[in-house]
Structure 1
Amino acid sequence: MISDRVKQIGMSPTLRISALAGELKRQGQDVLDFSAGQPDFPTPEGVKRAGVRAIENNHTRYTANNGMQELREAIVARIRRDHDLHYDPDQVLVSPGAKASLYFACMTLIEPGDEVIVPSPYWVTYPEQVRLAGGTPVFVPCRGEDGFRLDPSRLAAAITSRTKALILNDPSNPTGASYSEEQLRPLAEICDRHGLWIVSDEIYSRLLYDGRRFVSIATLGDSIRERTVMINGLSKAWSMTGWRVGWTAAAQPVIDGMGKLQSHSTSSVTTISQFASVEALNHCDEEIARRVEAFQQRRDRIVARLRRIGGVCCTVPEGAFYVLPDCSGLLKRMDGVANGVELAELLLERARVAVVPGEAFGAANHLRLSYAVSLEGIDEGMDRIERVLEQG
């Protein structure tokens, strides 16, 4: 009755954990949610007002499938300011969220039997979208001691005659790893030498800490840019997850192919959201900078608290708003808790703290915690976790 295509994929583990935490809250339980993949800050006021104006001015009809001209012009202007890359508005496709952008990219680039390199740990959706497109995800481990960054020698070793693309998430969900230009260049050279596409998921690019500057791999030469599918959106840095606005900038044949898929599936993004997005791209830099400062304070707090727990090893994230502690040492001294899945279940059941097991991201015996939580919430959550772990 159900297609094999759907049977081969699972429900998003992160959404499942969030739904379970939400259900406990609705039952009156005091649950602290560290599983969320969205900021706790509100959408900026000016952006909300722009959305309201769009409704009041009756901008509620379809737009062009690829997005409003004004929005696509704002996107290429933003790319030019941030990366000194010049795209034509026709080389941009606006989609209902970066997840949709990624899906359309996979469906456009991947043929049945193609291999796609996915650095691990990875965002849970990458391998599923590759499989839906008929491809095979090839996982390349990235070690915590290397900052969870992809090692060029491991990338080269994973390439075969069937390799079609690399999915690069910078900064990374779930690790927070990011790359400097010097770290990106050998990866770009390998991809260029083998003629690989690079699907560059840059959704967290505005959320970098300690004065780091984001470098898009698309900036590392004309040939790399031509084979890079640059994906971004407003969900994370602008706190607009529910507005569902993402975009792709890429070579014209890729955009044309993705646009055909979108025209027969989702069609254009909500018109109200598009008007609000123009405001977001043009006027929110100072507010985002303040939020980055707040996220950095939260990162520092949660890393310090995690490192107080015996048997937990925690790499400092460089961006995004997640931390992925290795709990292998902790698990060795716990009775009846064998892996990250069971540890996450224990913490939800006994501490009423929702976290996501690292197994969902290809990281056994790890946990992913979001620090899109207030400092007070971080302290309360970590207090609860420590109390449960002390009880054994």
Structure 2
Amino acid sequence: MPQLAPHIPQVPGSGIRRIYLIASELDDVISLGVGEPDVPVAAHIGEAAKRAWDADQTDYTDNGGIAPLRAALVEKLARENRLHVTPQQVWVTIGATQALHQAMHLLLSAGDEVLIPDPGYTTFTMTPRMLDAVPVPYPLHPDHGFLPEIAQLEQLVSERTKVLVINSPSNPLGTVLSEERMRELLAFARRHDLWILSDEVYEYFAWDEPHVSIASLDDDDRVFTAFSLSKTYAMTGIRIGYLVTPPGMAEVMRTVQETTISCASTPGQYAAIAAVTGSQAPVAEAREHYRSNLTAAMALLDDRGIRYLVPHGTFYLWVDVSHASGGDVAEWAVRFLMEQRVAIAPGSAFGRSGEGWIRVCAAATREDLLEGLRRLPAPGHPAAPPRGTI
């Protein structure tokens, strides 16, 4: 019997999706586990997609995306991110997930190492394994605000290290890297001649200080940046993201796109033009909704004596449940779902440093969010009575 490539079984599954699948088989679940915006797609975005379908704009496009969308993204990058690039540096992808995979595919060979944040988003670990490369976690510690420490990175880098992955605002932590910290990370990458892959999916949801794109500080073309329309415009299922590359990579990117996706959905690209160039009022409304939800959630957790990391970005709360999880937060999250009918993401799904923590998505109705948090066990208090059965 033929066998799969030997490195494929080493690719870990997603601890987030595990909870999602169990929850999908249950009734009356409060869903706080998946990062799904609870606001609708703005009308002008949906209308643009519908017009494309009605006009039969369903053919192949250029590998990098339709010219009007790439031009709109170039303008957005200059305006919002201080990035001055050409359309040939902007590649429309199937969400940021494909953008991240595409970049790693370009930069990593079998056996190469990539430094990834821990806790960090699940695909930072999964994608290198898919490529037979080696993810090397750099732990983010509570006593350092869950921020990367250069001294620790220096201990982890090796002659096999090729890429440093950063994520700001961070999923799952809600941390935001300052410009000063970005410059330190750039200097580290220069010392060791590393590429930087920057995940900036939550760029519009930075609360206390402005989001900084590390590529805007780069002067020697070592940064790839992954962006997405999914969270900003509630377009998660439309699957439009984009990868911004250093200059001079158009030919190789065209080949890589052709061999992986050919191109992104054409109606989705027309929807993306409407999103980027149309009214941004829905984004502002979503920001206010998420931030006010986070404020209310933190007040409730304070009242209950449950520890959490104050989020400076995203719509997530990083909550400490180590007083209840017994050293295995993944299994505790399943029991909590079965007994309390609340789906949350176990912190260990994001790396070893996430043990004892959970990620709570605040992109929900205020009622669901607060009720879900009320069902968490507080330190020194018994858990609420079971609401379901195991």
TM-score, length-scaled by structure 2: 0.93
Question: Could you tell me how far 1:146 is from its partner in structure 2?
Answer: 2.3
How far apart, CA to CA, are the structure 2 residues paired with 1:125 and 1:306?
Answer: 29
How far apart, CA to CA, are the structure 2 residues paired with 1:144 and 1:254?
Answer: 39
Change (3 A) 1:129 1:253: farther
User: Which protein is richer in helix relative to its size?
Assistant: 1
User: Greater shift after overlay, 3-12 or 47-56?
Assistant: 3-12
Give per-residue Cα distances to partners, 1:207-247, cap 9 Å, x unaligned: 1113x211011111312xx1000110100111000111011
Counterparts of residues 88-127 of structure 1 (less than 5 Å): 88-127=86-125
How far apart, CA to CA, are the structure 2 residues paired with 1:5 and 1:262?
Answer: 23
Counterparts of residues 175-254 of structure 1 (less than 5 Å): 175-210=173-208, 212-223=209-220, 226-254=221-249
User: Greater shift after overlay, 141-150 or 350-359?
Assistant: 141-150
Which position in structure 1 is the counterpart of 2:271? 276
Which position in structure 2 is the counterpart of 1:6? 8
Give per-residue Cα distances to partners, 1:327-378, cap 9 Å, x unaligned: 22344xxxxx442123212211111001111111111111111111111111
Question: Could you tell me how far 1:182 is from its partner in structure 2?
Answer: 1.6
Say whether the 8 Å CA contact 1:123–1:173 is kept in structure 2: yes
Aligned residues: CA RMSD = 1.8
How far apart, CA to CA, are the structure 1 residues paired with 2:123 and 2:50?
Answer: 32
User: Greater shift after overlay, 146-155 or 159-168?
Assistant: 146-155
Which position in structure 1 is the counterpart of 2:261? 266
User: Greater shift after overlay, 140-149 or 93-102?
Assistant: 140-149
SS in 1 for 2:308: coil
How far apart, CA to CA, are the structure 1 residues paired with 2:39 and 2:292?
Answer: 15
Which position in structure 2 is the counterpart of 1:348? 337
Question: Could you tell me how far 1:318 is from its partner in structure 2?
Answer: 0.9
How far apart, CA to CA, are the structure 1 residues paired with 2:112 and 2:129?
Answer: 10
Which position in structure 2 is the counterpart of 1:371? 362
How far apart, CA to CA, are the structure 2 residues paired with 1:134 and 1:238?
Answer: 34
How far apart, CA to CA, are the structure 1 residues paired with 2:249 and 2:197?
Answer: 11
Say whether the 8 Å CA contact 1:124–1:361 is kept in structure 2: yes
Question: Could you tell me how far 1:253 is from its partner in structure 2?
Answer: 4.5
SS in 1 for 2:172: coil
Counterparts of residues 149-160 of structure 1 (less than 5 Å): 149-160=147-158
Of 325, 335, 339 in structure 1, the residue corresponding to residue 328 of structure 2 is 339
Say whether the 8 Å CA contact 1:202–1:230 is kept in structure 2: yes
SS in 2 for 1:17: helix
Q: Percent identity?
A: 34
> Structure 1 residue 131 and structure 2 residue 129: aligned?
yes
How far apart, CA to CA, are the structure 2 residues paired with 1:91 and 1:2?
Answer: 35
Which position in structure 2 is the counterpart of 1:161? 159
User: Greater shift after overlay, 2-11 or 107-116?
Assistant: 2-11
- Count of residue correspondences: 379
Which position in structure 2 is the counterpart of 1:317? 311
> Structure 1 residue 305 and structure 2 residue 300: aligned?
yes
Say whether the 8 Å CA contact 1:208–1:292 is kept in structure 2: no
Which position in structure 1 is the counterpart of 2:144? 146
Change (3 A) 1:155 1:338: closer
**Unpaired runs of 5+ in structure 2?**
none
Give per-residue Cα distances to partners, 1:269-319, cap 9 Å, x unaligned: 110000110010112422212211111111112223233445x42111111
Amino acid at match of 1:22: S
Amino acid at match of 1:10: P
Say whether the 8 Å CA contact 1:105–1:258 is kept in structure 2: no
**Unpaired runs of 5+ in structure 1?**
332-336
Counterparts of residues 59-70 of structure 1 (less than 5 Å): 59-70=57-68
User: Greater shift after overlay, 263-272 or 3-12?
Assistant: 3-12
How far apart, CA to CA, are the structure 2 residues paired with 1:339 and 1:199?
Answer: 31
TM-score, length-scaled by structure 1: 0.92
